[in-house]
Amino acid sequence: LVGSLTVDLHFDTTLLEFVSVERGGDDGVWIDTVTGEVRSDNTSIIRFGGITTTYAHGSNWHFATITFRSVGTDGTAVFTGAVAEIADDNAMDAQARDRPFNAGAGVALIIGSGARRHRRTMAAVSAPASYAFVPARARKGVPGCLPDTGPYPLGDVNRDCEFSGKDA
């Protein structure tokens, strides 16, 4: 059972502009809110996530729908990402942090000025080296915090010196 999930999605800012994140929810697995925004420390990464008290389960979810807008430049948009945090129903890590995931079932978008939109599978499109995802933790913490000693950041309910989805 999963109680919280936070994901980082890398996209090409020379081709796309982030518009929004909405809860996927049409599969009935994740019924609570999902939110997200462009990370302040890297504007080519969207951090999105959600917390649920009904606890998601299974292996194939439509967790979120992310909308982008073309900036008007032709090119191939490739997406990479990693799970920043996934916690179970007891607020414990459910898997290793920064684990890569498959974004969009291996699809790259071909963006052009023509009227037709194209998709190609990742097997037909190789991602440039600049797309290699380098995970980075962007958590709210307090310098000098020691677990079970403090000083703790605001909202750190489980006293691990980080404010994250596990504190909900």
Q: Would the pLDDT of 136 be above 90?
A: no
What's the confidence (pLDDT) of residue 26?
66
Please name the amino acid found at residue 123: A
Of residues 105 and 90, the one with the higher pLDDT is 90
- Of the pLDDT bands very low, low, confident and very high (cuts 50, 70, 90), residue 85 is confident
pLDDT tens digit sequence for 112-132: 655 444 444 444 444 444 444
Of residues 147 and 69, the one with the higher pLDDT is 69
Cα distances from 8 to residues 49, 94, 123, 131, in angstroms, run 9, 17, 22, 13
Average pLDDT on 87-98 reads 77
**105: helix, strand or coil:** helix
Please name the amino acid found at residue 51: I
CB-based burial label for 166 (10 Å; 0-12, 13-18, 19+): buried
pTM higher than 0.75, yes or no?
no
CA distance 155 to 110: 42
- Residue position matching structure tokens 């948009």: 77
CA distance 124 to 27: 29
Please name the amino acid found at residue 29: V
Q: How many helices (H) and strands (E) does the chain have?
A: 0, 10
Average pLDDT on 132-150 reads 63
Average pLDDT on 133-158 reads 67
